[in-house]
Amino acid sequence: MLFPEKEYAERLRRLRAIMAERDVEMVIADEAEMLHYFTGFAISENIYRAVVIPMQGTPTMIVRRLDEQPFLNVGWFDNRRAFHDLEDPVAIIADVIKSGGAKRIGLDMNSYCMPAKRFNHLTGLLPGITFIDFSDAFRPLRLNKSPREIEVMRKAAAIADTTMLRAVAAAVPGASSRTAAAVASSSFIELGADFGRTGPITVGRGWNFLHGKLSDDPLQLGDVLHLELVPKVSGYCARLMRPAVMGAPSAELSEAAAGLIEIQDRQIAAMVPGAVASEVDAIMREGAVDAGLRDDYVNNTGYTLGYYFEQAPRTSDFTRLFTPEAGWRLEAGMTFHMYTSAVAGIAFSETVLVTEDGPECLTKIERKLFQCGEVS
């Protein structure tokens, strides 16, 4: 198990407190991230699978027979209903609910595993059952990380730091963004990441280049290589962005980088417990526009970081966003990807932990504009 059983028990305790408030007797969790959070096990959804959690007692995992042993290898409990590929897992879930006598069931109505057709099938099997929307309950439970979760994220952040230096050093004259990505991918595997998927590595132009694609084209003098690294360790992700310019940077580029870093430093420094997210957001958003680094600022300036299942459709966690309308407050134990970019084609980001004493960047690499081929 990745975490001790008592940590899973605490997660269930907090979930059941919400269940009690909403008079819910059972909940169904089916997104991979939530399966992992409550059971220690996650698997892709080639065939539906879910965990049914009662108000009291042990959860029941509804799992494909082919995946039964992997569940037993990592799960903190062994209570399960395993099904063959020709069986209907939704019908098995309905049977578990009927056997428990529950009449009010919590369900994530925003789950990517519960499309309308499946929901209609489930409700058709359970006439008289009331389904309560838990979409506002599940994901917030994961916001405040435990010490063990933070420990795993530190490992991912250290991989990002080391790999960034290696990728920058590999971007020598004649190299391409693909060259840097190959080095980064190999570094991830060597250093203990779950796999070699690097994150976007591309040439920065404008401010909205962050999700660009790899290229075989050699980097030209003056090109800015954008490197976003997203290593995962046991599913927990750290994220880090740095720019590297081919050749000596222009005065304009150097000034833009220094300005962006200074504003983001102030933003990160403001990430203390109790801070209002919109006020933290304004430091970066308004600061970048006022400094002429952006004509406008239409994207968020940070979002939740944590566990991401490798094959899930959501590659970012927007449970909490830093936007002008964000009225929520920061709490100790929250972790975020704080990122920014400028029209000059540069971007910086950090993995930030909010502690009782203030913010801590889990990613530690120097915050600067690198030069391609630079060896540190």
Q: What is the CATH number of the domain that holds 108?
A: 3.40.350.10
Quick one: 166 and 47 in the same domain? no
Does any domain span residue 376? no
Closest CA to 113 of 91, 130, 135, 94: 135
* Beta-bridge mates of residue 307: 236
Cα 173 to Cα 57: distance, rounded to the nearest angstrom: 62
In the prediction, which pLDDT does 310 show? Answer: 87
Structure tokens at 105: 């069931």
- Ranges of beta strands (E only) in 38-184 are 50-54, 60-64, 80-83, 104-107, 130-133
Output the pTM of the full model.
0.94
Q: What is the CATH number of the domain that holds 362?
A: 3.90.230.10
Does any domain span residue 313? yes
Does any domain span residue 39? yes
In the prediction, which pLDDT does 140 show? Answer: 96
Does any domain span residue 29? yes
Band of pLDDT at residue 211, cut at 50, 70 and 90? low
Closest CA to 360 of 319, 318, 332: 332
Quick one: 218 and 303 in the same domain? yes
Q: Work out the mean pLDDT of the chain and round it to a whole number.
A: 95
Please say whether the beta carbons of 229 and 237 come within 8 A: no
Does any domain span residue 341? yes
Does any domain span residue 207? yes
Structure tokens at 34: 């939530």
Q: Centre a 10 Å sphere on the Cβ of residue 48 and count the other Cβ atoms it contains.
A: 19
Quick one: 50 and 130 in the same domain? yes
Quick one: 120 and 209 in the same domain? no
In the prediction, which pLDDT does 275 show? Answer: 98
When pLDDT is averaged across residues 267-286 and rounded to a whole number, the result is 98
Q: Say which residue the tokens 């046991």 belong to.
A: 234
The residue out of 142, 162, 184 marking a domain boundary is 142
Quick one: 262 and 303 in the same domain? yes
Quick one: 67 and 50 in the same domain? yes
- Ranges of beta strands (E only) in the chain are 26-29, 50-54, 60-64, 80-83, 104-107, 130-133, 201-203, 224-229, 232-233, 236-237, 240-245, 302-304, 317-321, 335-342, 346-355, 358-361, 370-371
Cα 135 to Cα 27: distance, rounded to the nearest angstrom: 11
Q: Which residue has the higher pLDDT, 188 or 214?
A: 188
When pLDDT is averaged across residues 83-100 and rounded to a whole number, the result is 97
In the prediction, which pLDDT does 345 show? Answer: 86
Cα dihedral sign, 315-319-325-330: negative
In the prediction, which pLDDT does 203 show? Answer: 87
The residue out of 81, 111, 142 marking a domain boundary is 142
In the prediction, which pLDDT does 311 show? Answer: 85
**Dihedral through CA 365, CA 368, CA 369, CA 375, nearest 10?**
-50
The residue out of 142, 169, 196 marking a domain boundary is 142
pLDDT at 1 over 90: no
Cα 174 to Cα 222: distance, rounded to the nearest angstrom: 13
Quick one: 221 and 346 in the same domain? yes
The proportion of the chain whose per-residue pLDDT surpasses 70, expressed as a percent, equals 98
Determine the structural domain holding residue 325 and report its residue range. Answer: 147-371
Does any domain span residue 99? yes
Quick one: 104 and 159 in the same domain? no
Please say whether the beta carbons of 61 and 80 come within 8 A: yes
In the prediction, which pLDDT does 214 show? Answer: 79
pLDDT at 146 over 90: yes
Closest CA to 120 of 144, 97, 94, 95: 94
When pLDDT is averaged across residues 1-13 and rounded to a whole number, the result is 95
When pLDDT is averaged across residues 270-275 and rounded to a whole number, the result is 98
Counting the structural domains of the chain, the total is 2
Quick one: 156 and 110 in the same domain? no
Quick one: 31 and 48 in the same domain? yes
pLDDT at 205 over 80: no
- Among the listed ranges 89-103, 122-136, 200-214, 288-302, which one has the minimum average pLDDT value? 200-214
* Beta-bridge mates of residue 360: 353
Please say whether the beta carbons of 336 and 304 come within 8 A: yes
In the prediction, which pLDDT does 315 show? Answer: 87
- Half-sphere CA count of 257, side-chain side, radius 13 A: 23
Q: Say which residue the tokens 């096990």 belong to.
A: 41
Query: Which of the 8 DSSP states describes residue 334?
Result: B
Quick one: 238 and 336 in the same domain? yes
Closest CA to 241 of 273, 215, 275, 212: 212
Please say whether the beta carbons of 348 and 243 come within 8 A: yes
pLDDT at 335 over 60: yes
Quick one: 219 and 102 in the same domain? no
- Ranges of beta strands (E only) in 211-344 are 224-229, 232-233, 236-237, 240-245, 302-304, 317-321, 335-342
Does any domain span residue 279? yes
Closest CA to 132 of 203, 55, 201, 184: 55
